[in-house]
Structure 1
Amino acid sequence: MSAQIDQNITKLLLEKKIITQREADSIMALPIVHQKVNAENKNFSIGLEFRPRAEYRDGYRQLRTADTKAAYFVTQRSRLYFNYSQPKFKFHTSVQDLRVWGQYGQTSTTGSFNVFEAYAETGLSDHFSLRIGRQKVELDNGRLFSAANWSQAARAHDGINLIYENSKIHSEFITAFNQTSERIFETNFAPTTFTNYKMLNIHYLKAKLNEHFSLSTLNSADGYESKTNPRTMYTRATSGGRIEFEKGNLYLTLSGYYQYGHLQAGNKISAYYFQPEIQWKKNKFTTRLGMEYMSGDNAEKPSSTSKSFVPLYGVAWRFMGNMDYFTTFPLDLKNGGLINPYLHLIYDLNPKLSLRSDFHLFYLQNKVKDNLDNSIHPYLGFENDLSLHYKYNNFTMIDFGFSYMAAEKSMETLKTGNSNIIPVWSYVMITFKPELFSFKK
């Protein structure tokens, strides 16, 4: 039924080098929820994830200046996973503590302990299951919907997911309606400490057409309450999909999405995105060549209709560089859109050690003006992300990364600072993910 859904998707993304070995290990190291059970199985397991990460930032997300100083700190994620399954029923919860070393005093009674996921899944038939509660949403390659696992906090949604799966089709229908507290009247939703949708509906379908071709579609609608009238909700819709071809060492894919409806401010949106990619794998070496094309607004011809595509609730750094210069859309681009040609080179030295080098070029898709009301040059700069992943054993992973950027003058309009000073960023992370306890009856 829905057993192994997350792991199957993860294995496929890893095989096609869409995600790194680090991300795959982080997802798959524990047999968290999707265990196949027979009429007599009752399974219970407890797992641990402990993930400290040290970072050196000297130009991360923002250009340096002659006066800025580098930042160095350590963050830590500690998670416990609890899983129970019996015929046609599963329950999963994970609790986590997130902190920066030194964030809380030695005798502090405060902290950042919270629930990341907590849901129950019941089997409705041989092919249908229903998952209810707080859950991560990982769809397609994560561009529009991702658990954002690199972030220590990650991302989860409160909702209901109707899952269908057979040998050729995988489908998910997800729906959510949010409130900040119990209500007697009205359904006003205006959180003050975070930004979130009031309503979300998603349908994702992936079909294997034949031995070489597969097709997926994704349609979503997220609604935000008007900032001036709580009884008005503006809905933004996103529709599109992906076609994939795979034969031997060759993999080709093309995805595209169109965004329409209304933004929270009430203005219309008409934006688009597409991503072609070709991959070639030969022995231990994998090459990925592709491009992201994200539409934007023309500052020289203002319009009441937004042309700036927003990649919803996906992950950005996996696609647009590890230095996270473009993660908040459309603000990070001043509504100008982005063209991101990329080349990824991955070499597996052995089953435990892999090296990777990602190259990105950044161009504005449309016109952006500087403080003097002049349109800036569309070329923003070049980024190179180097990384090393070492799998010490089946529950210990070590990652190292180093990134730098050669920014152009036009980048200063988007990210201030001095484009003549090279921004750099580096990290070292170790992840422990053992299974602590397992009981099967």
Structure 2
Amino acid sequence: MTATEVSTAPVPGAVTTTRASLRTPIVLAVLGVVALVFFGLLGSAGSTTTFGVSAGTDFVTIDPVEIPSKAGAIVLAVLALALAAWSFVMARAGRTVPVWLVAVFGVLWVLAFLTWAVADKSTSLVSLMQGSLLLAVPLAFGALGGLLNERAGVVNIAIEGQLLTGAFGAAVLASVTGNAYVGLVAAPVFALIIGSMLALFTVKYHVNQIIVGVVLNVFAVGLTSFLFSSVLKENASQLNSPPRLEVLPIPLLSQIPVIGPVLFRQTVIVYLLYIAVAVITVALFRTRWGLRVRAVGEYPQAADTVGISVERTRWSNVLLGAAVAGLGGAFFTIGSVGAFGEEMTAGKGYIALAAMILGRWSPIGALTAALLFGFADKLQQVLGVLETPIPNQFMLMLPYVVTIFAVAGLVGRVRGPAAAGEPYEKG
């Protein structure tokens, strides 16, 4: 089978807009005006904001940066509005709005927000970015698992359940063996419980994929909650006291100022995320296997005609996606908290699903979206500690508000795999 036999969706690489669609420029312009008015013009005059940009182990130690809060926010907001205006010009000319423009706009907007919110206080940008990456890990693994499923035509609403069972398995096996790496291996195996049930009901018996996913999430919550209360609580020291993964700094790279501590002073699960994104990207878009998977997700009838087994492809992708999502579940126990708790995933599976959609069913896009949501989660923690003027209730809502606005404002109408959610019966 060659690339010309079945038409598949192109690799998402840019936020595309046309002369008739100004969604992205309008969103950027509105956000820019909000930044200028609320963070800049209405900011407190005479205040200063301090940003830490270096860690103690860097090759070169950079002193904290102090900037005037109001003037700094105004300058950053004006630069963001300039990018929004540029996006309008590009859209009116029928050109694409590149991803880098949206990313730079986002960085400027966030810096303007931080300059206003942290007025007369200080915060470490390195710590903020490092925490954002960590919180993005389960979201990214969940999104990768979801896109592996949907690229083959199976909608995976059960990411939440796969994260939860993966977290449970990692905690128990790591506690029993006293080895966090055993827990890391166990997590995808336990997630396969949910993955195999999803494949059985959706691929073999053609049950509605959305309903099955929701039911499996409820099943995973009920099962793990029962085992937690009846088994783990009574034997916490033996079954729910897992060791945590140790930080493995990469020599030299981890000492690069700013990016070193963020990217290269992490645990093995973060490095596995880097590898997973690279491998899945190449496999999906640069190999014969990936072409067959995307063919099944776009037009299973045509794939079947040229000899591709639709059922086998969907089975294998659903199981593979569950295993990948299970790795994200391991983060909650052996990568972060250090113990399993009831419903500890707290809806992260649904945010991972939103990250997959925002990332346009692309591994790199999914990772970028997961980083956005991870940053929102970390930001609400940091601002809560600093006692900023933002109400605490709003800060708790921030990750979910960002999810809604990102998907609704920046994605809009986007086409996923054409056959996703559609059962296929041969003949």
State the TM-score, normalized to the length of structure 2: 0.22
Q: Normalising to structure 1: TM-score of the pair?
A: 0.22
Higher RCO (CA < 8 A, seq sep 6+): 2
More strand, by proportion: 1
The structure where helix makes up a greater share of residues is 2
